[in-house]
Amino acid sequence: MERGDLAAVIIGLSLVIILTVLLSPPAHTVREVPGTVAPTTVPVNTVTPIPEMTTEPAGTPTTPPVMTRRILYTNDYSLYPVRFLPNDMAIYGVSDATWRYPSSVVFAYVEENHGGITETFTVPYPVWRITSTLAATRTPEKARLRMILVDEESGQILEGAEILYLGSVTKTVVAPQGRPLYIVIGAENVERFVITLEAPSSLVH
C-alpha cells in the first residue's frame, strides 16, 4: 500500500470516529454515594379491635336486691312483756288458708336448733306471713316446736304455732307497720328448725 492510500484510510477512520462522537447522546454519569443502603420495608396495616359495648334496653328499671336479715336470740329480754309460752298452744290452730298472693319474698328468718327469745325487729309491710318448719331425724316422734309472735310495746301475742313430729305451719300476720316485735320459741328434740318471714313480692318490689 502506498503512502497516499494509507493516509486516506487514516483520514477516513478519523472522520468516522469524530462523527460517531458528535452524533451520540451524552451519557449520564451516576455517582455512587458511600453509605449504608436501608432495606425497603412494606408498611403493615395494624387493625386495632374495637371492644364490644353492651347496652341495656332503654326504660328497663333496675330492681335492688332484697336484703334477708337473720334474726338472732338475745339475752337482754328481762323487760319483755311476755317471756313464756302459753300452756295451751292449740288455741292458735293449724296453718292459715292458702296465701292469696302469687309470689312472696323472704325478708327475715330465724334458724336454730334450740329454743330462746329473739331480739326485736320491725316489719315495714302491712301484711306478711310467718312459716315455721321443723326438721328432726333422730327421734322425730318426740320432736316439738312452739313459737309465739309478740308485740313488744303492748305485750299482745299476734300469732302462735305448734308443730309435733315433723312439718311446717304458716300463719298470716296483719299488724301495724314498724312496731317492734319479737319471737318466743320452744324447741324439744329437734336437729334444726327455720322460721321465715315473707311478704308479697308486689309489696317488696
How are beta strands 116-117 and 157-164 bridged, if at all? Answer: unpaired
- Residue 60: pLDDT above 90? no
CA-based nearest residue to 146, from 87, 81, 191: 87
CATH number of the CATH domain containing 163: 2.60.120.340
Phi/psi at 167 (5° precision): 120, -165
- What integer pLDDT is reported at residue 104 of this predicted model? 93
Q: Do the domain assignments include residue 3?
A: no
The answer to whether position 188 is within a domain reads: yes
pLDDT score at 128: 96
Question: Is the model's pLDDT at 176 over the cut of 80?
Answer: yes
**Whole-angstrom Cα Rg for the chain:** 51
Asked whether residue 111 is assigned to any structural domain, the reply reads: yes
**125-141 pLDDT, tens digit each:** 999 999 999 988 888 99
Q: Measured between alpha carbons, how far is 85 from 153 in angstroms, rounded to an integer?
A: 18
Q: How many domains does the chain have?
A: 1
pLDDT (mean) for 64-72: 80
Domain that holds residue 144: 69-204
The whole-angstrom separation of Cα 60 and Cα 163 is: 44
Residue 163 has pLDDT above 60, yes or no: yes
Measured CA to CA, the distance from residue 89 to residue 188 in angstroms comes to: 15
